[in-house]
Amino acid sequence: MLNLSKKILVAIDGSPQSDKAAEEAVRIAAGNRSQFPSRIYAMLILPNAPTATYSDFVPTAPPTETEKWNDLRRQIFYVIEKCALEHAVPLEMVVEYGEPSEKLLDFARKEQVDLIVIGSSGKGFLQRRIKGSVSHKVASSANCSVYIVR
């Protein structure tokens, strides 16, 4: 079987499920022993940035422009950075604003990703029925394989 470089997108949000997904993504990428290493894109999707209105005298800054951002970013990306470094897997970190399933699917199409790794939702039955889960939306709409980690 021919093993060429794979592009792997993993959804990161700092939760235990996303940490498990990060570890699995690195394991998959590290298992590719071809001369072309796999690449991991770790994506954090933040809620839409609030837009300033005419009544705002001092609009609030997006989370990525606050003093606490570097510490928060280190905490959220800690597991994926550590695992990727240990296994010498190329890693690119991406931060986007918007609806998570849409951003993941758009990025996967644009970058021609081969695999999306995402943690299971962890929501209860009722919340899943009302809001839907990101992992379900991604799995049912993606053009590539999706690996849901529990």
Please state, in angstroms and as integers, the Cα–Cα distance from residue 109 to each residue in 106, 123, 129, following that order: 5, 27, 27
Q: Assess contact for 80 and 60: CB atoms under 8 A.
A: no
Tens digit of each residue's pLDDT (9 = 90 or more) over 60-69 = 666 666 778 8
CA angle 81, 114, 97 (to 5 degrees): 60
Number of domains in the chain: 1
| 106 inside domain | yes
| 69 inside domain | yes
| 94 inside domain | yes
| 1 inside domain | no
Domain of 17, CATH number, reads: 3.40.50.620
Q: Assess contact for 108 and 9: CB atoms under 8 A.
A: yes
Rg of the chain in Å (alpha carbons):
17
Query: pTM of this prediction?
Result: 0.83
For the cut 70, the answer to whether the pLDDT of residue 58 exceeds it is no
Q: Assess contact for 44 and 12: CB atoms under 8 A.
A: yes
| 70 inside domain | yes
3-state percent breakdown (helix, strand, coil) of the chain, nearest 5: 45, 20, 35
| 123 inside domain | yes
**Could you tell me the residue range of the domain that residue 99 belongs to?**
7-49+60-149
Could you tell me the strand order of the sheet in which 39-46 lies? Answer: 91-97, 39-46, 7-12, 115-119, 145-149
The residue ranges of DSSP E strands in the chain, in sequence order, are 7-12, 39-46, 91-97, 115-119, 145-149
For the cut 60, the answer to whether the pLDDT of residue 25 exceeds it is yes
| 143 inside domain | yes
| 128 inside domain | yes
Tens digit of each residue's pLDDT (9 = 90 or more) over 71-115 = 888 999 999 999 999 999 999 999 999 999 999 999 999 999 999
Q: Give percent above pLDDT 70 in the chain.
A: 77
